Chain A
Amino acid sequence: MDTTEYLGVFIDESNEHLEVLYNQLLVLEKKPQDKSIVEEIFRAAHTLKGMSATMGYNDLANLTHKLENVFDAIKEGNVVVNAEVIDILFDAVDHLNAMVEHISTGGDGSRNVEQIVDQLKRIETDEAVTISSTSKTSTIEKKKQYLHEVDEFELTILKESADRGYTNFEITVTLREDCLLKGARVFMVFEVLEKMGEIIKSEPSVNQLEEEEFDQSFTVLFISEHSKAYIASSINKVSEIEKVDVCPFSVTAYEENLEKSKELRNQEKETTKDITDGTKNQTKTATHKTVRVNIERLDILMNLFEELVVDRGRLEQLAVDLEHADLQETVEHMSRVSNDLQNIILTMRMVPIEQVFNRFPRMIRQLARDLQKNVDIEIIGAETELDRTVIDEIGDPLVHLIRNAIDHGIEKPEERLTKGKQEKGTIKLEAYHSGNHVFIEIKDDGVGINKEKVLSKALKKGIITENQAELLTDQQVFELIMASGFSTADTVSDISGRGVGLDVVKNTIESLGGRIQIDAKQNQGSTFSIQLPLTLSIISVLLIELQQEKYAIPLSSIIETAIIHRDDIMHAHNTKVIDFRGKVVPLSFLNDIFEVPTTDEEDPYLSVVIVKKGEKLTGLIVDSFIGQQEVVLKSLGNYLSNTFAISGATILGDGEVALIIDSNSLIK
């Protein structure tokens, strides 16, 4: 059978399964009793075996088969999962990985695996005691799970309040669909509520609400002495609210319900342990079922689609001009369909950074073991989405930084103890969106960076001169470690310390149009902060008008919008300022800055967009607000790469180009 044409698919899928194996093994190490994990591993191993046998890679199939046997034994309870077993399993998967790599570089995937096969056999036949504690732990976990929505503490408060004559309410607030700044509205509602009583819980959580990670509505549990009608009317005073539902919340009824659902679920899922993690993992793997598409095709698809949008705009105009009802209706329908299509195409290119982050826990585990250090990893914001091209490039630099953090940053356990730190070091990996950028932070709680050492070394290596050294800020000093030909470790280790790494990291990030910053405190740790542009990613913007021209301001930098009277403008040292919620905020007149051809009509009222850069605020004066929209960020092209205060452009639904304002450069 000629299998060459399936080779690509085979390699891709094998890698996918290997990743599942790695990740699930890590989880298994932490929760050796969880059978659902073993099952997932088993499935991955099984598929891999089948595929490699079909493709004729016998060594691969053979080893996978042995691996499968071990998992089967674990599943049956014949083998106890301990650190030693996990190590061997990891080794086996490493072998598999090497084989697949060999195949992908044109080899036949053969490899000497006798030793590992032996080890696997030994585990398999080692009929150890079955795990007895399983049932016990799982029941405890189950109980917790059902109380998850309102925890016991909250229930107690609710009960007490009822005893003291207050009333418990469950309030559901629905915002209007066109609500611009949902986060702000939520804040206002919370402010109103806090005046009348106490908020016990909100669903989604306050953080999610602030991040606007909810649809149109949210629910809070609320204690108050006021009446239902009073509360409802107070909330309704906040604008842009569609609907407010206030219902009394009865603790006893809740508990009864809980009891019922618990019984139900117990019957349904008797076999699955640790439901939270189990279901989570399952849904995750389900969404990862994908069809692979060449990214170039996606580019072509997007460009073709945009042409379609231009024609759609023309059709819409024609339909209006001709006043033909049927035509108008058809065109309207087409617009709706193409809007949906647009959303799908745009999101297709975005990939959660999870893909990159996923390989780190295993890497850190291995490294920490090699270096005899105790390191924990904490990952935040793995769901942050980035353009596919950026994702592909960012992996290696991150690996490098993490290796550095473990090797140079985190101290050995004894050393940490003498310094009064926890024995276990932590590396925190965090990704988030801000403005037109995605930030990735790698933070460790290790030794930090010794400023003096860096300086003296940089001087010795001739990277800077004495005079320059005096003028450098702390951050600039830290950034010297990324200069080429620099290495702070006194001894060169395998892991890092050759001094070639960090400047490569810096170059890669800069070639992606990003920046890297270093911050460190002696003996408290260091933070590497990478800022990456969202090339071709979708951002939410506020569209505004300056005379006839349309511009977009990224919503993430906007605090709020307001309308002020010209008389409210004050002058402070030749600068026009306004008093905004007790703060003096300078104003920027965009019409002047962008030299917009103006017709001199002086409106007594001005529209202001308050934007922030860190702690600083500025009010941008615009002519009018158009509304919020999701747009694709595009570059202005290499020819105009350095335009002041413009970070890019976007193509609006009608095919017109609107410039995106980089509000950061307008704030001094």
Chain B
Amino acid sequence: MENEVMSNRKVIVFQLGNEEYAVSVLQVGSIERMIPITRVPQTANFVKGVINLRGVVTPIIDLRLRFGMEESAFNESTRIIIVYVDDMEVGLIVDAANDVIDIPESEIEPAPEVIGSVDADYIEGVAKLETRLLILLDLQSVLTEDEIHELKSVEG
């Protein structure tokens, strides 16, 4: 019994478009409502800028743009999820963040090859829970600098 409890993974679930994504709670610092963002010039297009998060200047990236989705206007349900990866602290803009759930490790499968295009190496796996399909993100790859440089050079 205990083993089963241990092998659960607590995640925060958020939405981008119609899809549901998940990141481990251990990496999440807080979830914030939209606050004014100061644009930082000459950065990748998905870097929205920086915010004042209780006295700490925190960079913000728009996950929609980062994943190559269409940009959408921010609304009441838009949230910023503050995540910690290595020594970086970054805010992710998502359409909505509404759930904390336990996923049994056994339910996590590697990302299906079909969507395994070049862009998708930030997907750690998928988890099927009853009718929901959660995409587990590998935040490290979402935030790695290489990725940014790559994108920068593509943009020219």
Contact = CB atoms under 8 A, between A and B. Distances in A.
Interface of A: 302-307, 310, 549, 593-596, 634-640, 643-646, 648-649, 651, 655-659
A594 B38 CA distance: 13
B41 A657 contact: no
A298 B36 CA distance: 26
Contacts of A643: 40-43
B5 interface: no
7 contacts: A305-B55, A639-B143, A640-B50, A646-B40, A646-B41, A649-B57, A659-B41
B113 interface: no
A646 B59 CA distance: 14
Contacts of B51: 657
B132 interface: no
B27 interface: no
A221 B20 CA distance: 77
Nearest to B89: A637
B72 interface: no
Interface residues of B, number: 24
A645 B143 CA distance: 22
Given A549-B38, A640-B43, A640-B50, 10 more contacts: A593-B42, A596-B41, A637-B59, A637-B90, A639-B90, A640-B40, A643-B40, A657-B49, A657-B51, A658-B38
A306 B43 CA distance: 27
Given A637-B59, A640-B43, A656-B38, A303 B52 contact: no
A636 B38 contact: no
Contact of B50 (A303, A593, A637, A645): A637
B43 A651 contact: no
Closest 7 CB pairs of A and B: A306-B55, A594-B41, A303-B55, A657-B38, A649-B57, A639-B59, A644-B42
A651 B89 CA distance: 17
B52 A594 contact: no
A649 B43 CA distance: 15
Interface of B: 36, 38-43, 47, 49-52, 54-59, 86-90, 143
Contact of A638 (B40, B49, B88): B88
Given A307-B55, A637-B59, A594 B43 contact: no
A656 B55 CA distance: 10
A657 B57 contact: yes
B88 A639 contact: yes
B41 A651 contact: no
A349 to B, nearest CB: 13
Select the residue from A306, A640, A644, A656 with max chain B CB neighbours within 10 A: A640
B43 A303 contact: no
Nearest to B49: A657
Nearest to A652: B52
A108 B12 CA distance: 53
Nearest to B44: A640
A655 B90 CA distance: 19
B52 A636 contact: no
Given A302-B55, A637-B88, A645 B38 contact: no
B145 to A, nearest CB: 8
A648 B87 CA distance: 17
Contacts of A655: 52
Contacts of B58: 637
B41 A310 contact: no
Contact of B38 (A595, A644, A659): A659
Contacts of B39: 549
A638 B144 CA distance: 11
A637 B57 contact: yes
Most A Cβ at <10 Å: residue of B36, B38, B47, B52: B52
A657 B52 CA distance: 6
Contacts of B86: 638
Contact of B55 (A639, A648, A651): A651
Nearest to B86: A638
Given A596-B41, A646-B40, A657-B38, A640 B55 contact: no
Contacts of B59: 636-637, 639-640
Q: Which of B38, B47, B143 has the most chain A CB within a 10 Å cutoff?
A: B38
Given A636-B50, A639-B143, A656-B36, A651 B57 contact: yes
B42 A634 contact: no
A32 B104 CA distance: 79
B146 to A, nearest CB: 13
Contact of A307 (B40, B42, B47, B54): B54
Contact of A595 (B42, B55, B89, B143): B42
Contacts of B56: 303, 634, 637
Contacts of B38: 549, 649, 656-659
B28 to A, nearest CB: 16
A649 B55 CA distance: 11
A636 B89 CA distance: 10
B38 to A, nearest CB: 4
Nearest to B56: A303
Nearest to B149: A642
Contacts of A310: 52
A305 B42 CA distance: 31
Q: Which of B36, B40, B50, B88 has the most CB of A within 10 A?
A: B50
A542 B42 CA distance: 22
A634 B55 CA distance: 9
Contacts of A651: 52, 55, 57
Contacts of A636: 40, 50, 57, 59
Contacts of B36: 656
Contacts of B57: 634-637, 648-649, 651, 657
Contacts of B50: 636-637, 640, 649, 657, 659
A213 B38 CA distance: 34
A600 B79 CA distance: 33
B126 to A, nearest CB: 26
